[in-house]
Structure formats: C-alpha cells, structure tokens
Amino acid sequence: MSFEWLTDWLPFTFYYLMVLLLFLANLTSWVSILFLVPGNWIMVFLSALFYLFMPGRDEHGISLTVLVIAIALAGLGEVVEALGSSAGAAKKGASRRAMILALLGTFIASVIGATVATPLLPPLGTIGGAIFGGALGAFAGAYLGEVWKGNQEVNRMHISTAAFVGRLLGVVGKLAIGVVILVMLTIDSLF
C-alpha cells in the first residue's frame, strides 16, 4: 500500500488551512477597527508574517508588491480616520479637552453599542452598534468637554455635531479601506 498521495496532499492542505486562519484573523482585525484598535495595521502585520513563514505553493502566496500596497493603504486609512474624526470638530473650535473626551467617549460608547446591538442582529448589529455608539460617544465626549470648558450652548452643539459626523465619516472611510486590504490580501494568498 502506497501513501504517496498523503505526502502530496498534506502540504497543500496545510497551506490552505493557514490561508483560512489568516483570513479569519484578518477579518477579526478588520472588525476591531470599530473599537479604536488599529485593525488595518494588524492585518498588514499578520500578512507580513504569512509572507515570511508560509512560502507560496505553485505561484500562490502573498507577494511583496501586494504587501507594500497594503502598508500604503493602512497608512491612508489612518489619515482618513484622523481627518474625519477630528477635523470637523477642530474647525468648529473644539478644545483639547473636548477632543480627548470625544476619543474616550468613542471607545466606551462603541463597546457599549456593540454589546447592546449584537443580540438584536448579529453580526450586523455589532458593526452598526459600534459605529453608531462610537459616533454618539464622540458627540457626548465633545459636548462634555465644552461644558467643562464653559463654552456657550450654541458652540457646544456645533462642536459635538461635528465630532459625531466626523467620527462616522472617519470610521466608515477606514473600514472601507480595511475591506480593500482584506480582500486584496485574501485573493493574493489564494491565487
């Protein structure tokens, strides 16, 4: 009885098992963006490890070119999030205190939003709850920061609304770039 088929089959199976694990880890990293975790950079890091330790099989595997493009996109995602999250509020004259509390509010409220919305409609509830909760947290944090500073009611609302909209736009932009990174790395690892 010959077991040659087994020696041919095992490396092939192991490689695609690692591709599946990379995809699942990258997908989890992408979702972590909702909670202010640098998920795009984690995807790049995990894929770089895959590139280093999982040599391609029959022209399969992540190429250095795709990895460099993913690094550039991850950097662009950070710029989009930073501009979206703080530019609007800063333009309206937000104080440093309001910006810090908006960031803290974003983190806390995104976790609460995801926790509350997950049982309602998993997994979309998790994503929607984290996005909307984070935006509400940015609004509340900016508002509290401006109250603490003693800013006028009209300015508080403008600054807080700008923080809300900016957070929504920033995280959606970063998530969109993250999807591009995720799809690009997954396709490159498979083909």
Which is more confidently placed, 70 or 92? 70
Query: Hey, where are the domains in the chain?
Result: 4-190
Asked if residue 121 has pLDDT above 90, the reply is no
Q: Give the model's confidence band at 13: pLDDT under 50 very low, under 70 low, under 90 confident, else very high.
A: confident
Residue 77: pLDDT above 70? yes
Instruction: Tell me the CB-side half-sphere exposure of residue 123, using CA atoms within 13 A.
Output: 5
- What is the percentage of the chain residues whose pLDDT exceeds 90? 41
Q: What does residue 158 show for φ and ψ, rounded to 5 degrees?
A: -65, -45
Per-residue pLDDT tens over the stretch 160-191: 999 999 889 999 999 999 999 999 999 999 88
Task: Assess contact for 127 and 113: CB atoms under 8 A.
Answer: no
CB 100 within 8 A of CB 81: no
For residue 7, what pLDDT is reported?
A: 55
Which stretches does DSSP call E strand in 27-145?
Answer: none
Contact between 185 and 39 under an 8 Å Cβ cutoff? The reply is no
- How far is Cα 122 from Cα 165, in angstroms, rounded to an integer? 25
Orientation of helix 124-149 relative to helix 96-117, angle to 10°: 150
pLDDT for residue 3 is more than 80: no
d(CA 120, CA 107): 21
